[in-house]
Structure 1
């Protein structure tokens, strides 16, 4: 190993690997990462196992290169103004990784308000595009601080549609509904259970199942054998540390 990759893998880098895996096998689809770690992860996926993945400059262009996080692109592949972006969302050709102020066991997400909607204790981002995202294209979630404040028994307001809410709405809501995974600073979670409840898919190295249970406000489905999040390869570490995020911005989002 070089001196750069000889350093121990950090928690943030395990999170990058876990988020990048969300786009594995997606093919030519637009990646929409929200947050620093997902942005590093989407670039890593493009440079390694998902070369057909499409990236944007975050505004109105599809970019042809893979600049470091925070750096400007120098290669433009296409024009993607807001109206065309919405068309792509409606057509399912996007995989977004959103954040969440609250998530429940069925994947209902809240980014709108805390408390009763009629008189909230705190106003957040608002519903924004979360309903359309969750009903029309693949969605994953990134939570940099796993806690009972985020992983709650019942969200105060449904912004992103979970599996139980989609089922209650009927076929028009379930037809393209696809929640892939939830990545937090403690582990990876999915909904691969008969009742579509959140399941522990992997723990990041150094994290225990008891830690995750204590930080989650509802019972999690737990398989008999819970693996650890996979180790990054030497090349993946080089890409993360030297190419995609040389300034170490990932470590500002995930505590050591």
Structure 2
């Protein structure tokens, strides 16, 4: 009898490393409401729920708590949602049009407030999010247009402006090149890990301020075979992740 040889599992894509890096945001947080904004952060939160963070609560963005496959698990009335928001029981992963070294975020406008060159989303809930529950950021295009010396308007509040707010905690920034965190004495951004194929110089060149770089930068954690299977066959068979971060 001829042995059947199984084709090797395709190597992880850059987008899949980004999903893993976003999933790690919710490692060890316990029973907390995850509010991921964007395709890859949402995949990361759902993957975390299916693997190492079973107590994570996921919302449909409106009024329901859902399982990782979208099955409704419970009702989340708006008043209860606000209780979670203002009491540190929610963890958000937002986007950013601009970020500075201390984690101040802008999603409102580009240019002077009186005569902006471009209008964006508006301040939205960014101040409440950043002052009242742990926050991370997702940046699908790491560039000097995003990572700037000074944001044009502060929407999400950085470490230099938080003033000791009780639940203020900026955790990390995941981009298509790397993972950044704030593990420095002045709580400014530091290069924490590199995605495969990316160099330190590439990240420095794509950042509009001096980024703290440790002597040894670890690689971003590789997806396990089980995680890859879940991403590819359960969470995102159509491959929306690769449209957000092309291979």
1:195-219 deviation line (CA, Å, top 9, x unaligned)? 1110000000100001001100001
SS of residue paired to 1:127: coil
- What is the Cα deviation at residue 85 of structure 1? 1.7
Distance in 1, matches of 2:80 and 2:120, equals 27
Given that 2:87 and 2:167 are in contact with CA atoms closer than 8 Å, whether structure 1 keeps it comes out as: no
Partner of 2:144: 148
- What is the Cα deviation at residue 130 of structure 1? 0.4
Partner of 1:235: 226
> Is residue 66 from structure 1 mapped to residue 57 from structure 2 by the alignment?
no
Partner of 2:80: 84
1:69-127 deviation line (CA, Å, top 9, x unaligned)? xxxx33x2221233332221001111000000000000000000000111111111011
Distance in 2, matches of 1:177 and 1:232, equals 30
SS of residue paired to 2:193: strand
> Is residue 184 from structure 1 mapped to residue 163 from structure 2 by the alignment?
no
| Number of residue pairs matched by the alignment | 243
1:28-59 deviation line (CA, Å, top 9, x unaligned)? 00110100000110010000010100011222
Structure 2 spans left out of the alignment, 5+ residues: none
Distance in 1, matches of 2:113 and 2:82, equals 27
> Which 4+ stretches in 1 moved above 4 angstroms?
none
Which of 101, 109, 131 in structure 1 is aligned with 2:127? Answer: 131
SS of residue paired to 1:89: helix
- What is the Cα deviation at residue 154 of structure 1? 0.3
CA RMSD of aligned residues (A): 1.3
Distance in 2, matches of 1:47 and 1:130, equals 28
Partner of 2:99: 103
> Is residue 194 from structure 1 mapped to residue 196 from structure 2 by the alignment?
no
Partner of 1:70: none
Which of 23, 28, 39 in structure 1 is aligned with 2:42? Answer: 39
Given that 2:179 and 2:193 are in contact with CA atoms closer than 8 Å, whether structure 1 keeps it comes out as: yes
Q: 1:2 to 1:143 in 2, by over 3 A?
A: farther
SS of residue paired to 1:164: coil
- What is the Cα deviation at residue 2 of structure 1? 6.5
1:205-239 deviation line (CA, Å, top 9, x unaligned)? 10000100110000100111001101111101111
**TM-score (normalizing by structure 1):** 0.92
SS of residue paired to 2:173: strand
SS of residue paired to 2:10: coil
Distance in 1, matches of 2:117 and 2:83, equals 35
- What is the Cα deviation at residue 13 of structure 1? 0.3
Which of 3, 18, 30 in structure 2 is aligned with 1:15? Answer: 18
Distance in 2, matches of 1:109 and 1:10, equals 28
Distance in 1, matches of 2:218 and 2:208, equals 22
Q: 1:234 to 1:104 in 2, by over 3 A?
A: same
